[in-house]
C-alpha cells in the first residue's frame, strides 16, 4: 500500500477530503452551519450577559463633539479610536440602538464567515475568544478580515491604523516584499483619510492625541517598554513574512503589536487560515 493511498491517511484528513469531494454533503453541512450561526447571532442579541455589546455601545453612543472625555483606558465605555472611525460610523449611529447592535453583530459574524467559511465559523464560534469578541462587539474579527483583504488591497491598512494604530505594522508586509508602490498606497490612503477627517473636526484630533498621550503616561514606563519590544518584534516578524512569502505570519505580528492584549484579541489569528494558502511568490 503506497503512502498516498487514502486508507493510509489519518481519519480526520480522510473525512475532510471526502467532505470536499461530496458536494451534496458539503452543501448540506454548509446550510446547517449557516442556520446555526444565524441562531447564535439571534441568541447573542437576546443575551443577558453583562459584557453584551460593551464595546459596540461605545461606538454607537460616544458623543461626537467630545468622545475622549469618557472612561479611562481599559474601562467600559472608553472610546480610544481616531475621530475618523467615529465619523465613518456616523450614518450607522443614526439608527436606534437595537438596529445598530443587530447590524454591528452581523458584521462580526460576516467577518467570521469570510475568514473560515460557514462550517469553520460554526466550529470557531465555540472558542471562547471568538465568541467574546462577538459578544462585546469589538473589531478584532473585522481587523482579521481587513488583514486578508489588505494584503491584496493595500489601502485597507487605513482601517487598523485609524483605530488601534499599532496593528498597522502589518503594512510592513509590502516593505518586506519590496512592493513600495503598495506600501505608499497604504500610507497615502491613511494620510488622506486622516487629513479629510482633520479638516472636518481638527479639535477632535488634538483631543485624541492628548488622550493617547495621557493614557500612555498613566500606563507607566513598564507598559511603554513592553509595547516597544512587542512592536519591534512584530515589525521584524511581518517584514520576514513579506520577504519569505509566509502571509500567515502577518496576523501573528498584528496580535503581537496590539496596544492592549485582551483574550478576544486572539480572534485575529483566524486570518492565519485563509493566509496559509497564500502563494509564496507573486
Residues 6+ apart with CB under 8 A from 18: 25
Reduce the DSSP state of residue 71 to 3 states and report it.
Answer: coil
pLDDT band, residue 20 (cuts 50/70/90)? low
Burial of 150 (0-12, 13-18, 19+ CB in 10 A): buried
Grid cell digits, residue 196: 479629510
Candidate from 103-107, 210-214, 219-223 with smallest mean pLDDT: 219-223
The Cα-based distances of 257 to 24, 175, 189, 241 in angstroms read 42, 17, 21, 15
Whether 116 contacts 148, CB under 8 Å: no
Residue 223's nearest CA partner among 74, 54, 79, 67 is 74
CA dihedral 186, 190, 191, 194 (to 10 degrees): 180
Q: Please give the mean pLDDT across all residues of the chain.
A: 91
**Measured in Å, how far apart are the chain's first and last C-alpha atoms?**
38
Handedness of CA 111, 115, 119, 124 (dihedral sign): negative
According to the model, what pLDDT value does residue 3 have?
47
**b/e per residue, 76-107, with b = 16+ CB within 10 A?**
eebbbbbbbbbbbbeeebeeeeeebbbebbeb
Cα radius of gyration rounded to whole Å, the chain: 20
CA angle 93, 95, 96 (to 5 degrees): 115
Which residue has 483605530 as its cell numbers? 163
Whether 157 contacts 186, CB under 8 Å: yes
| pLDDT of 1 strictly over 50 | no
Task: Residue 223: count other Cβ atoms within 10 Å of its Cβ.
Answer: 16
Residues 6+ apart with CB under 8 A from 50: none
pLDDT in tens, 151-208: 999 999 999 999 999 999 999 999 999 999 999 999 999 999 999 999 999 999 999 9
Crossing angle of helices 128-136 and 54-61, in 10° steps, is: 30
Average pLDDT over residues 15-38: 82
| pLDDT of 7 strictly over 60 | no
Residues 6+ apart with CB under 8 A from 5: none
Candidate from 62-76, 132-146, 194-208, 234-248 with smallest mean pLDDT: 62-76
pLDDT band, residue 18 (cuts 50/70/90)? low
Whether 109 contacts 41, CB under 8 Å: yes
pLDDT in tens, 112-128: 999 999 999 999 999 99
In angstroms, the CA 281 to CA 265 distance is: 29
Percent of the chain at pLDDT exceeding 70: 90
pLDDT in tens, 64-104: 888 998 766 666 778 999 999 999 999 999 999 999 999 99
Amino acid at each position: 500500500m503506497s503512502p498516498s493511498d487514502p486508507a493510509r491517511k489519518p481519519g480526520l484528513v480522510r473525512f475532510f477530503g471526502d467532505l470536499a469531494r461530496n458536494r451534496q454533503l458539503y452543501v448540506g453541512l454548509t446550510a446547517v452551519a449557516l442556520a446555526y450561526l444565524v441562531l447564535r447571532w439571534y441568541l447573542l442579541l437576546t443575551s443577558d450577559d453583562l459584557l453584551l455589546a460593551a464595546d459596540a455601545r461605545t461606538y454607537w453612543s460616544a458623543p461626537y463633539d467630545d468622545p475622549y472625555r469618557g472612561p479611562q483606558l481599559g474601562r467600559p465605555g472608553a472610546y480610544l479610536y481616531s475621530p475618523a472611525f467615529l465619523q465613518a460610523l456616523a450614518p450607522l449611529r443614526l439608527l436606534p440602538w437595537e438596529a445598530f447592535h443587530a447590524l454591528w453583530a452581523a458584521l462580526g459574524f460576516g467577518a467570521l464567515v469570510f475568514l473560515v467559511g460557514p462550517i469553520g465559523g460554526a466550529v470557531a464560534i465555540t472558542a471562547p475568544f471568538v465568541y467574546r469578541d462577538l459578544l462585546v462587539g469589538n473589531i478584532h474579527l473585522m481587523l482579521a478580515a481587513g488583514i486578508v483583504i489588505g494584503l491584496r488591497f493595500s489601502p485597507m491598512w487605513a482601517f487598523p491604523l485609524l483605530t488601534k494604530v499599532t496593528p498597522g505594522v502589518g503594512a510592513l508586509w509590502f516593505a518586506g516584499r519590496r512592493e513600495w508602490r503598495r506600501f505608499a498606497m497604504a500610507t497615502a490612503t491613511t494620510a488622506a483619510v486622516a487629513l479629510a477627517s482633520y479638516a472636518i473636526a481638527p479639535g477632535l484630533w488634538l483631543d485624541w492625541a492628548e488622550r493617547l498621550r495621557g493614557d500612555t503616561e498613566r500606563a507607566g514606563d513598564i507598559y511603554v517598554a513592553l509595547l516597544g519590544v512587542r512592536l519591534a518584534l512584530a515589525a521584524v516578524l511581518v517584514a520576514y513574512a513579506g520577504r519569505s512569502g509566509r502571509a500567515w505570519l502577518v496576523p501573528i505580528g498584528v496580535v503581537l503589536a496590539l496596544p492592549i492584549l485582551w483574550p478576544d484579541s486572539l480572534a485575529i489569528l483566524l486570518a492565519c487560515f485563509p493566509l496559509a494558502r497564500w502563494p509564496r511568490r507573486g
